[in-house]
Amino acid sequence: MLDFANQRQSIQSSLHKQSEKTKSDYRIRLNASIDVIVDACTKETTKTIIKDLDGDYFGILVDESKDISHKDQMALVLRYVNKNRELIESFLGIVHVGDTSARSLQKVIYSLLLDHSLCLSRLRGQGYDGASNMQGEKNGLKSLILQDAPSAYYIHCFAHQLQLTLVALSKKHPDVKNFFYVVTNVLNIIGTSFKCRDLLRQHQVEKLEELLKSGEILTRQGLNQERGLQRPGDTRWGSHFKTLENFMIIFSSIANVLKDMKENSPHDLDKLAVGNLLDKIQEFEFIFVLHLMFKMLLLTNELNKALQKKDQDIVNAMGLLNLSKRRLQTMRESGLESLMDEVSSFCGKHDILVLEMTEDYPRSKRKKSEISYLHHFRVEVFYAVIDLQLQVLNNRFDVVTSDLLLGMASLNPVDSFANFSKSRIMKLAEYYKSEFGDNELRDLSYQLDSFIVYARECDSKFLNLKGIKDLATMMAQTKLDQTWSLVYLLVKLALILLVATASVERAYSSMKLIKNDLRNSIGEEFLNGCLVCKIERKIFETVSNDAIIDRFQNMKSRRVQL
């Protein structure tokens, strides 16, 4: 049976037996053919992207990360408005970098742009994740590029800024810092042990059966899925939200696992550590901060999800940011009572002692406190945490960025251009000196006066637009991009400015699928080719086979010319 299953021992293989050298040469030719085909496909795909850009203005999103072989790889994405007036983000390529200093990254970016005949003078936006080598004021990548392209303005990735507010909270507020310290330790103790994970699943199953019998929950497809304790990512706001959500839902299972570990651990030190964690998570203060942080993350989760969209425009992101701040302010003014009710209900459900709020809050064992528990939770935790969150969100932008954002917000067509401000729009135009000299600024002023009257009073199509992306599309459809060309130019420049680096980060997710443990020796060009064809597969599908064949034919002289 084994002989029959072995292809090399078949009669056909025996009749056509080849030497090992022949097989080796055949494999080399086959590999070379695949490399050449991928290269041809990649070049035709990027050619289509560059043709779609058509020499117009563009922005760049750049990020660097290590691959499975621990090599630093830099990915670059173009953001532009194409000939059809659509906002596009296209993956241009990935390049291995010897080091990640700002100078080295600048050199690689310039080389990549030059390879695709992209002119630096058309660069109008930069987007990075906020690392010091990227956004440093003196020697960062953004500053080096601004020296050569003064209108390539940088706006710190909104998603990363959102994450930094959480980092600031965990560093500046002691109660939040202690809370995340406890959560991290619970994740480490339970998450790193397969036995503890199995216990966690077992307790969830038992709890689910108990709730089903009592009729407290219903059964339906998609409901009652198994929950795990995923570790939050360092740069992802949403991962913290998911971690705390799961922590609350399977709290009783977590407590039961810690109890089992405390009882069955053979070492006294381990019993003590686990016992301390168990005591901590069953304190009223821990439950209060757990619910407070979860609610704050919930209020800003819509903003977080919106920032992951590929074609998100900056005006819409600013609107969601302002909405999140208003909701946080509303929570500060009227949300304490409902939060206390939720915490007390949770504590009652899990047999956790509910504190008497009128009693004195113990500052220390030696000194008697002069404040009550209610004052501590209301003023020192609830108000303080929300105020700190709002303060950090309000302080994330410098003067240039604020002027850019205010000008863009003034172009927002929502509610019949309710935020329209001619002075702010003119201020925005002044930052683009190459496009708006004295004559252009004068003409823009006249065009704005005419355009706003027309959009508000003469054409109902402009009344229900949702953002500047829709505004650009509508101006193109009604040919008003030609009538008020300077207004449209400013709208286009506003669209090019970058909100988040989600697109370039997706490239690394794809890279992990292509270059993995089993394929860790893939060459740099082959990796880039596979990534371009995978990430931009919709564009690749539009490339004809004839174009790829012609590219292959023109790589070198061929014996057969088609």
Instruction: List, as one string, the DSSP characters of 323-334.
Output: HHHHHHHHHHHH
Q: State whether 224 and 301 are in the same domain.
A: yes
- Asked if the structure places residue 47 within a domain, the reply is yes
Q: Are 199 and 257 in contact (CB under 8 A)?
A: yes
Q: Are 337 and 323 in contact (CB under 8 A)?
A: no
- Half-sphere exposure of residue 425, counting CA atoms within 13 Å on the CB side? 25
Q: State whether 405 and 433 are in the same domain.
A: yes
3-state helix, strand, coil in the chain (%, to 5): 65, 5, 30
Q: State whether 292 and 365 are in the same domain.
A: yes
CA pair distance 106, 24, nearest whole angstrom:
41
Residue where a domain stops, chosen among 496, 514, 539: 496
CA pair distance 466, 459, nearest whole angstrom:
16
User: pLDDT (tens digit, 0 to 9) for every residue of the chain, 562 residues total?
Assistant: 666 666 556 655 554 555 667 767 766 776 666 666 788 888 999 999 999 999 999 999 888 888 888 888 899 999 999 888 888 999 999 999 888 888 889 999 999 999 999 999 999 988 886 666 676 667 788 889 999 999 998 877 776 776 677 677 777 888 988 998 999 888 888 877 777 777 777 777 776 666 555 555 545 444 444 455 665 554 455 577 888 888 888 888 888 888 888 888 777 777 888 889 999 999 999 999 999 999 988 887 777 776 666 555 666 777 777 888 889 899 999 999 999 999 999 999 999 999 999 988 887 655 666 789 999 999 999 999 999 888 877 776 566 777 887 888 888 888 888 888 999 999 999 999 999 999 999 999 999 999 999 998 888 888 888 888 889 999 999 999 999 999 999 999 988 887 666 777 788 888 888 888 888 888 888 888 889 989 999 998 888 888 887 887 777 765 555 5
User: What angle separates helix 102-115 from helix 141-148, to the nearest 10 degrees?
Assistant: 50
Q: Are 135 and 164 in contact (CB under 8 A)?
A: no
CA pair distance 347, 284, nearest whole angstrom:
7
- Asked if the structure places residue 20 within a domain, the reply is no
What's the CATH number where 52 sits? 3.30.420.10
DSSP string, 47-91: HHHHHHHTT--EEEEEEEEE-TT--EEEEEEEEEE-TTS-EEEEE
CA pair distance 29, 285, nearest whole angstrom:
68
Q: State whether 205 and 324 are in the same domain.
A: yes
Question: What is the domain count for the chain?
Answer: 3
CA distances from 140 to 95, 104, 145, 165, 449 (A): 19, 11, 9, 22, 40
Q: State whether 112 and 178 are in the same domain.
A: no
**How far does Cα 80 stand from its chain's mean position?**
19
Q: Which domain holds residue 61?
A: 25-155+500-553
- Asked if the structure places residue 562 within a domain, the reply is no
Q: Are 87 and 81 in contact (CB under 8 A)?
A: yes
Q: Are 500 and 346 in contact (CB under 8 A)?
A: no
CA pair distance 324, 158, nearest whole angstrom:
13
Residue where a domain stops, chosen among 371, 394, 417: 394
CA pair distance 324, 54, nearest whole angstrom:
38
The first and second tokens of residue 518, run together, are: 């089993």
Q: Give the β-pairing of 123-127 and 58-66.
A: parallel
- Asked if the structure places residue 431 within a domain, the reply is yes
CA pair distance 160, 500, nearest whole angstrom:
8
- Asked if the structure places residue 232 within a domain, the reply is yes
CA pair distance 256, 467, nearest whole angstrom:
50
- Asked if the structure places residue 243 within a domain, the reply is yes
Nearest to 530 by CA among 510, 544, 509: 510
Q: State whether 256 and 224 are in the same domain.
A: yes
Total-model pTM: 0.67
Q: State whether 337 and 470 are in the same domain.
A: no
Q: State whether 274 and 390 are in the same domain.
A: yes
Helix (H) or strand (E) holding 125: strand 123-127
Q: Which residue has the tokens 């821990």?
A: 286
- Asked if the structure places residue 247 within a domain, the reply is yes
- Asked if the structure places residue 320 within a domain, the reply is yes
Q: State whether 360 and 490 are in the same domain.
A: no
Q: Are 388 and 404 in contact (CB under 8 A)?
A: no
Q: State whether 204 and 100 are in the same domain.
A: no
Q: State whether 411 and 536 are in the same domain.
A: no
CA distances from 400 to 40, 132, 277, 330 (A): 43, 19, 47, 29
Q: State whether 293 and 191 are in the same domain.
A: yes
Residue where a domain stops, chosen among 472, 496, 520: 496
CA pair distance 182, 274, nearest whole angstrom:
11
